[in-house]
Chains A and B, each alone.
Chain A
Amino acid sequence: MEYALALIVLLCLVALVVVAPLLRDEQSHMPGEGARDELEAAKEAKYREIRDAELDLQMGKLSKEDHRLIDRELRSEAIEILQRLDTVEGRAQDS
């Protein structure tokens, strides 16, 4: 029957694609590597926030006082993220 034959062929194809990584048995996750993409994204977002605050100041939406406070907070948060990124990359390099 066409249906049964096609089903067997398709399941075999799927199995081939799907089992390959199991046979290679990639290493269980490196704790550092996974975090990198998220940290990168968080870094980008923080940079955008800093720029946004600057734009707000230039456009007069934020007072100089408010901007100074916010900018300081954002920059320290950004530095934190950069430090975490360094740790992750350092760990990856060491191991």
Chain B
Amino acid sequence: MDPSRKRTLRLVVALGAALILAGALVYTSFSASTEASTPSQVVASAEPGRSYELTGKVVKDSVKRDGDRLRFAIRDRDGTASVPVRYEGVVPDPFREGREVIVSGEMKSGSFVAERDSLVTKCPSKFTKEKTTSSRGTSAAR
């Protein structure tokens, strides 16, 4: 094979590989993603069985610990619509009433059932936000 044909072939192979990677990227990300929502959105229009990432503030006086289980309510950052949440798993250190949290899960009969270990809390003071997302792939339940 003469050099220029070799080079064209290499270019074609490289471009092909790039296209395949790009395709895999786009396809897998759009199909495996969880949608971010606020409590009001989730209350209004959540599809059952669909995974959502709920963001909002923990409602005051709504936190109840029952052994391993944590129950609390999340409300919109600037609003009052709230959703009760049932959560099991690691609770991040900065978790408190009034703080902004993110938790992933599904809506089931009016309350939000969270994925294990998916609770993330934003620290109110400037720097770090504690996180506990155990790589959902590394927990024993895989």
- A–B contact with Cβ pairs below 8 Å: the answer is no
Chain A residues close to B by CB (< 8 Å): none
Hey, which bits of chain B sit against chain A, CB under 8 A? none
